Amino acid sequence: MTADAAPSARAPGERAASGRSHPIAWLIWTRLALGVVTLFVVSILIFAATQLLPGNAATAVLGHNASASAVRTMELRLGLNKPAVTQYWDWLSGVLQGRLGTSLANGQSVWSLVGPRLLNSLVLVVLAGVIGAVVGVGLGMFAAIRRDKPSDHALSVGTLAVTSLPEFVIAIFLVIIFSTVLWHVLPGVSPLESTSGALKPWQDPRELVLPVAALVIVIVPYIFRMMRAATIEALESDYVEMARLAGLSPVRVLLRHALPNAVAPTIQVIGLNFLYLAGGIVLVEFVFDYPGVGQGLVNAVSDRDIPQIQFIVLVLATFYVAMNILTDVVTLLATPRRRVAR
Amino acid sequence: MTAPPAGGARPARAAAAPRVRRREWLHILASAARTPRGMAGAVLALIVVLLAVIGPFVTPRPPLAFATIPGAGPSSGFPLGSDILGRDVLSRVLDGGWQLLLMAAAAMLIGVGLGAAAGIAAAQLRGWRDGLIMRTVDVVLAFPQLVFALLLVSILGPARWLLVLAVGFSHVPQVARVIRAAALDVSERDFVKAVEITGVRQSRLMVGEILPNLLTPLMVEAGLRLTYSIVIMTGLSFIGFGLQPPAPNWGYMINENRIILTTNPWAVVAPAILIAVLTVGLNTFTDAIARVALGIERGEKLIAEAEAAGAGTVTEIPA
C-alpha cells in the first residue's frame, strides 16, 4: 500500500488538472498528514496542561504546604526555570528519541513503569475488541434479518438497557455475581505483578475473563445497533429489492447483494469500538486491579507524577488517532464510491 | 427532569414569532412519555431522581455519623447494613445522589450550550472558521472523554465547579459535531437563504432561524449528554477524583465499600443499582424522544450518529 502510494502522492498537488490518477493515495496521505498535525497539537495541549499551567507544576507535585526550597528544587528538576518553548521541545524530542524521563514518585524510568503496562492493556483491548466485534456484528445482522420478530425486539431492548450502563457498574456487578457474593468461580482481582512485569496476563487466562467480559458488554450494544441499522438499510435498498424480485434465493440476496454494502459501516463500527476501548480500560482496569496503562494513569494522577501522566495520555491519544486513521483508510479502500468524496 | 426542558427551552424562547413552535418541545416530551419505551424510561429515571431529591430530608440517621459495627449486614435498625466505617448505608444512599445529579445537569448544560454554539457557528459561517472549529474539535476528540476529564481534574483540582466545567468541556466536541451536521441541513434551506439576503447579522440568523429548527437534535443531545455526564461524574468519583469524601456520593461509595463486599454487599449494590437504573432510564427516554420526533428509522440513526460522534472523520454513517 505504502509502496505504490508514495510516487503518486505528489501528483494531485503538482498536476491538479490531470491528477486524478491516484486520488485514493492522495486521500490517504492527506489523512496521515492530518493525523500527524493533530498529534502534534495534542502533544502541545498535554504539555501545556500538565506542566505550564499557572498553578505551577512543582507545587502541584509537592502540595501547597511544601517549603520554598523544596519547590525550588522541584522546579529545577522539572526544568521549570527554562522558557516554555524550550521545556516543550526538551520533552517532545526526549519522547521521540525514547527518553521518557524518570518518575517523580519513585525515581524509576517512566518506560520501565509504563512499558509492561502497555502490553498488558493491549492484550485486554485486542481480546475485548475482537470478541466484541464478532458478537456485536453477528447479533446485529441476526436482528436485522429477523426484523420486528420477538427475537429482534428482545435484542433491541436488551442492548438499549446495557448501552448506557457505566463500565465500572458493569464490572462491579460481574465481580458480585462471579467472584464474591453469589459464586466464587472466577478471580475478581488480578494479582499480576504490576511493575516488575514478571507475570504476563496470558499465563493465567482466568484472570482475563471478567475484565474482558466487562469491556465486551460495554461495546457490544453500540456495534449491535449500528450493525442492525446498516444491514436493514442494505436490505431495503433498491438493488436488493431488485435481486429479490429477480427470484434469487434469500441467502444469496443477503450474502451477495446486501452484505457487501454493509462493509463500510461494519469497519467503522469496529474502529469505533477500539476507540472506545482506549478510554474504557481506565475504569475496568481500576476495578480489577489489572496492571495496564489505565490503572497506571489513575495511580500517576494520584501521585501527581507528571512525567508518567504526560506519557500515558500521549500514548492513549496516539492510539486513538492511529485507530481513527486506520478506520478511515480501510473504509476508503473498502468502498469505491467514497473515494471521490472530499 | 431537568434535562430535556433545559435543552428544549432555548429554541422555544428564541423562536419568538411562531406560536405553534412555543410548546413543541413539551409536545415531544409528552408524546415520548406516552410510548411504552418512553414511559418505562421516564418512570425509571424519575424514581431515582425523586429518591435523590427527597432522600436527604428523610435520612433515618446522620449520613456521616458512626452508627454500628463496620460492614454489618442488614438488620432491623439498619435496612441496608453499615458501610466500611460503620455508617448507615441507607442514609448515605439517600443523601448521596443530589450533588451528582445537580452537577451532571450543570455539566450537560455547559456541554450542550457550548457545543451547539460551536456547531451552529461552524455550519453557518463555513470557510476557514468552520475549519478552525472542527479541527479544534478533532484535537480534543483524540482524548478519550474520561481521560480528558481526568486530565483536567488532575490539574485543576477537585473543586466542584471545576469538576462541572471539566465534564462539561469534555462533551463539547461530540455535541459540536452532531449539531454542525444538523445545522448544515438547515442552513441550506430556502427560508434561511431568504433571511440571509435581507442582510441580517449572522448571529441573529443563527439564533433566530437555525437554532429553532434544531429542536430534536438538541433534545436528543441533552438527554444523551446528561446520561454521559452522570456516567463520567460517577466514574471520576469512583476512582476518587470526583466528589470528595466524607460526604456520601454513589460513585465513591461503590469504591470504598468494595472491600466489605462479602460481609455487606448492599453497601455496593444499592448505589450501583441506583446509578444503573438512572442511566438506563434516561437513555431509554432519550431514545423514545428521538423515535417520536423523527420516526423510528431516522430516530435510531440520529442516536447512532450522536453515539459515534467521537470517531470517524472522513465518512459519516451512510445516508
Domain boundaries, given as residue ranges, for chain B: 65-281
Q: Which of B165, B298, B313, B316 to mutate to test the interface with A (most CBs of A within 10 A)?
A: B313
Spatial separation of the C-alpha atoms in residues B177 and A297, rounded to whole Å: 28
Region B68-89 average pLDDT: 82
pLDDT digits (tens, 9 = 90+) for A86-140: 888 888 888 888 777 777 777 778 888 888 888 889 989 999 999 998 999 889 8
Residue B61: is its pLDDT beyond 60? yes
pTM of the model: 0.84
Contact criterion met (CB < 8 Å) for B318 and A317: no
pLDDT interval class at A200 (50, 70, 90): low
* Residues facing residue B88 across a β-bridge: B82
Q: What is the pLDDT of residue A207?
A: 79
| H or E stretch at B240 | none
Mean pLDDT lowest for which of A51-60, B255-264, B288-297?
A51-60
Q: Is the pLDDT of residue A341 over 50?
A: no
CA–centroid distance for A34 within its chain: 18
Confidence (pLDDT) at B2: 38
Which of A150-154, A273-277, B9-13, B98-102 shows the lowest mean pLDDT across its residues? B9-13
Neighbour tally for A138: CB within 10 Å: 14
Question: pLDDT for A308-330, tens place per residue?
Answer: 888 899 999 898 888 888 888 88
Interfacial B residues in 246-305 facing A (CB < 8 Å): 254, 258, 261-262, 265, 268-269, 272, 275-276, 279-280, 282-284, 287, 300-301, 303-304
Separation between Cα atoms, residue A29 and residue B169, nearest integer Å: 31
| Chain A residues inside the 8 Å CB shell of B252 | none
Distance from CA of A172 to the nearest CA of B (A): 8
pLDDT band, residue A188 (cuts 50/70/90) = low
Q: What pLDDT shows up at residue B310? A: 57
Contact B139, A46 (CB under 8 A): no
Give the residue with greater pLDDT, B98 vs A207: B98
Res A114: pLDDT? 85
What pLDDT is recorded for position B114? Answer: 94
pLDDT at A69 over 50: yes
CA–CA gap between residue B18 and residue B309 (Å, rounded): 32
- For residue B37, give the C-alpha cell: 419505551
Distances (CA, A) of B135 to A34, A215, B129, B176, B313: 9, 30, 10, 11, 10
Q: Which amino acid is at B318?
A: P
Whether cis (ω within 30° of 0) applies to the bond prior to B246 is: yes
How does the average pLDDT of chain B come out, rounded?
82
The answer to whether B223 contacts chain A (CB < 8 Å) is: no
| Cα gap A225→A220, rounded to integer Å | 9
pLDDT at A253 exceeding the cut of 70: yes
Give me B208's grid cell. 433566530
Q: Does A8 touch chain B (CB under 8 A)?
A: no
Angle at B67 between CA B66 and CA B72, to 5 degrees: 110
Query: pLDDT tens digit string along B222-251?
Result: 999 999 999 999 999 998 888 888 888 999
Q: Nearest Cα to A200, choosing from A290, A126, A120?
A: A120
pLDDT tens digit sequence for B19-39 = 455 678 888 888 888 888 889
Q: CB of B208 within 8 A of CB of B14? A: yes
Specify whether the CB–CB gap between A280 and A219 falls below 8 A.
Answer: yes
pLDDT of residue B315: 37
More confident residue, B49 or B15: B49
Which runs of consecutive H residues, i.e. helices, occur in chain B? 3-14, 24-34, 36-54, 89-95, 98-125, 127-141, 145-156, 160-187, 190-197, 202-205, 215-238, 250-256, 266-294, 296-307
3-state secondary structure of A321: helix
Q: What is the pLDDT of residue A277?
A: 87
Q: Assess whether pLDDT exceeds 90 at residue B160.
A: no
Give the DSSP letter of residue A259. G
Which run of H or E residues covers position A319?
A: helix A306-334
Q: Are B302 and B217 in contact (CB under 8 A)?
A: yes
DSSP string, A211-240: HHHHHHHHHHHHHHHHHHHHHHHHHHSHHH
- DSSP state, residue B244: P
All three cell numbers of B10: 432555548
Q: CA torsion angle for B228, B234, B235, B240 (degrees, to 10)?
A: 150
Burial of A17 (0-12, 13-18, 19+ CB in 10 A): exposed
Whether the per-residue pLDDT at B273 is higher than 60: the answer is: yes
State how far the alpha carbon of A312 is from the alpha carbons of A34, A89, A113, B145, in Å.
22, 18, 11, 15
Q: How confident is the model at residue A141 (pLDDT cuts 50, 70, 90)?
A: confident
The model's pLDDT over B93-121, given as tens digits with 9 standing for 90+, comes to 899 889 999 999 999 999 999 999 999 88
Find the CB nearest A301 among B135, B150, B227.
B150
Q: How far apart are CA A183 and CA A175, in angstroms?
A: 9
Check whether A7 has a pLDDT greater than 50: no
The radius of gyration computed from the CA coordinates of chain A, to the nearest angstrom, equals 24
Tell me the pLDDT band of A19, cut-offs 50, 70 and 90.
Answer: very low
Q: How crowded is the C-beta side of B86, counted as CA atoms within 13 Å?
A: 6
pLDDT band of residue A213 (cuts 50, 70, 90) is very high
- The DSSP bridge partners found for residue A102 are A109
Predicted pLDDT of residue B126: 81
Averaged pLDDT for residues B33-49: 91
CA B225: distance to chain centroid? Answer: 3
Please name the residue that has the C-alpha cell 466464587. A184
| pLDDT reported for residue A3 | 39
Dist. CA A316–CA B144, nearest whole Å: 8
Whether residues B312 and A332 touch (CB distance < 8 A) is answered with no
Q: What is the pLDDT of residues B191-218, one digit of tens each?
A: 888 888 887 887 777 877 788 888 888 9
B65-281 falls under which CATH superfamily?
A: MetI-like (1.10.3720.10)
Cell (9 digits) for B297: 428509522
Residue B312 reports pLDDT greater than 80: no
Residues of A in contact with B275 (CB under 8 A): 166, 169
CA distance A26 to chain B (A): 13
Residue A199: which region, alpha, beta or left (left: phi > 0; alpha: psi -120 to 50)?
A: beta
From residue B35, give the alpha-carbon distance in Å to each of B38, B42, B49, B191, B223.
5, 10, 21, 33, 17
Count of residues making up chain A: 342
Q: What average pLDDT does range A241-247 have in this prediction?
A: 84
Q: Which one of B37, B137, B147, B273 makes the best mutation probe of the A interface by having the most chain A beta carbons within 10 Å?
A: B147
Contact B220, A152 (CB under 8 A): no
> What is the predicted pLDDT for the residue at A11?
39
Which residues neighbour A176 within 8 Å (Cβ) at sequence distance 6 or greater?
Answer: A182, B261, B265, B268, B269
Tell me what pLDDT residue A2 has: 38
* pLDDT at site A22: 65
Chain A: closest CA distance from residue B154 (Å):
6
